[in-house]
Amino acid sequence: MSLLNLSYTKTKLKNGLEVIIHQDKSLPLVAVNIWYKVGSANEKPGKTGLAHLFEHMMFQGSENVAKEMHFKYIQEAGGILNGSTSFDRTNYYEKLPSNALEIALWLESDRMGFLLKALDESKFENQKSVVINERLERYDNQPYGLAWELIVKNLFPKGHPYSWPTIGFKEDIESFTLDDVINFFKLYYSPSNATLVIAGDVDAEEAINLVEKYFGEIPQYETPPFPQTENFTLAENFYVEHKDNVQLPRLYLAFPTVKCYQPDDAEFEILSDILSGSKNSRLNKRLVFDEQIAQDVSAFQFSGKYGGMFIIVSTAKPGISLSELKKKILEEISLIDSKGITEKEFLKTQNGIKSNFISALQNIDHIADHLNHYNFYLGEPNSFEFDVNRYQSVKPDDIQKIAGKLLSKNYLELNIISKES
């Protein structure tokens, strides 16, 4: 599919900043997207949540940009902007009318090279309370909101870079000082630790000249090595129970698997689609459609640079026990292990994947983020075809085998149950 073959140019500035430019003239828009190769996985226990809190500080102005003006300049230009932090990386992005490219580059370069002098205690205390509120709103006050934290904490070995949530533990967030933020910047925000993607209605040569103009003078420094991790197994099944303000109990099964783009990663993803991706998927049909013992069920493979896990989540209907759900879920996976999957199930999944890859090319900002994603994980930004082939080369037999592999693993079981029970 030539549609999935995207052209680009890739260069590196003297200070180590990697630059990828992709031209797409379908609309007069440009997307700017920077990945810094640091996320919560680079944090230390006791200092969890620092990468994310730091991301907030990047929006508080820099030496030549007053507080609140970063947002204002982008909005004045008709653009949108945001940033996000995950286990593996932190990204910052803008999408603007293409004539405003220079404003985005100026703003991004100012906070990459000239952030520290603009930081102060009042900005820091303000954003610390914003982040504490974010944690309350998105996790503590959400039904089942602590599930992710409980899973990563209990599944990954002590000290593993995925064994704490990206938002951070509450007591860690509260303990941070301005010095923590300053030191974090000095460790990880070197231009040599970042990749800048520009995608859209731009001229490549003009764009690279602008990048040189704004980013060229920023000095680089050495950044710490990436954490090293090995895939692991659990010595035995592990059970955790948590009481929450919920009406219905919910079951989580988490199996340690593989890192992203490792062998088996695509197979686990396809297995998750066969199990729960459609109305007639195995688990949905059995638990939700036929027996009506679950309100919902979903399975997914989560994988990153430092590890992966396969997760199954299901909410019980009133009066149904989680052990019954678990028994039937494992039975269904055993059936795939013993009998395999049908041609039709396989075709449904493959056609869905093909549609999704094309649909994902609609927005220029998604394309920019994807170029950065592939560059970070695979070293090759134009990996759309490679990626789709990764799924299309899987055979039905491989899914049967992967179901067997999953069943042979010990797993973590989390039950979130009603406080009243």
Partner 1 sequence: MSVTRTKPELKNEIKFQLDNIATQTLENGLKLFYLRKEKLPMLRLNFVVEAGGKFDFLSKPGTARLTSQVIDEGADGLSALELSDEFDLLGTDFSISADNDFIIFSLQSLTENFDKSIELLSKVILKPDFPEKEFEREKKKLTVSIMQLKDDPEMIAEQIFDKIIFGNHYYGLPVRGYLDTVENIFPDDIKNHYQKYFKAENSFIAAAGNIPSEEFFHYAEKYFNTFLSSSEKILLPESIETPDKKVFVYDKPDSVQTEIRIGYLSGRRILSDYFSKLLFNTIFGGQFNSRLNSNLREKKGLTYGIHSHFIYYKNSGYFSINTSVSSENTFEAVKEILNEMQNLENGVTKEELEFAKTSLTRKFPLNFENYRQLTSNLSALAIHNLPLSYFNDYLQNLNSVTLEQVNEQAKKLSQSDMKIILVGNKISFTEQFVFNGFEIVDVDEKGMKAKIK
> Out of 13, 35, 41, 79, which residue is the one contacting partner 1 (CB under 8 A)?
79
Q: How far is the CB of 354 from partner 1 (least distance, A)?
A: 6
Q: How far is the CB of 249 from partner 1 (least distance, A)?
A: 12
> Out of 9, 16, 67, 153, which residue is the one contacting partner 1 (CB under 8 A)?
67
* Burial (0-12, 13-18, 19+ Cβ within 10 Å), 95: buried
Of 39, 162, 54, 17, nearest to 89 (Cα)? 39
> Out of 140, 174, 203, 206, which residue is the one contacting partner 1 (CB under 8 A)?
140
Q: How far is the CB of 161 from partner 1 (least distance, A)?
A: 25
Could you give the string, one character per residue 306-345, with x where binding to partner 1 holds by CB under 8 A and - elsewhere? Answer: -----------xx-------------------------x-
| Span near partner 1 by CB under 8 A; candidates 175-183, 210-218, 258-266, 332-340 | 210-218
- 246 contacts partner 1 (rule: CB under 8 A): yes
Alpha carbon separation from 409 to 32, 280, 312, 375, 419 (Å, rounded): 42, 26, 14, 32, 31
- 66 contacts partner 1 (rule: CB under 8 A): no
CB nearer to partner 1: pick between 135 and 373: 135
- 29 contacts partner 1 (rule: CB under 8 A): yes
> Out of 2, 225, 236, 419, which residue is the one contacting partner 1 (CB under 8 A)?
419
> Out of 8, 71, 148, 376, which residue is the one contacting partner 1 (CB under 8 A)?
71
- 129 contacts partner 1 (rule: CB under 8 A): yes
**Cβ of 129: how many Cβ atoms within 10 Å?**
11
User: Which residues 32-61 are close enough to bind partner 1 by CB under 8 A?
Assistant: none
Q: How far is the CB of 159 from partner 1 (least distance, A)?
A: 29
User: Which residues 356-385 are close enough to bind partner 1 by CB under 8 A?
Assistant: 358-359, 361-364
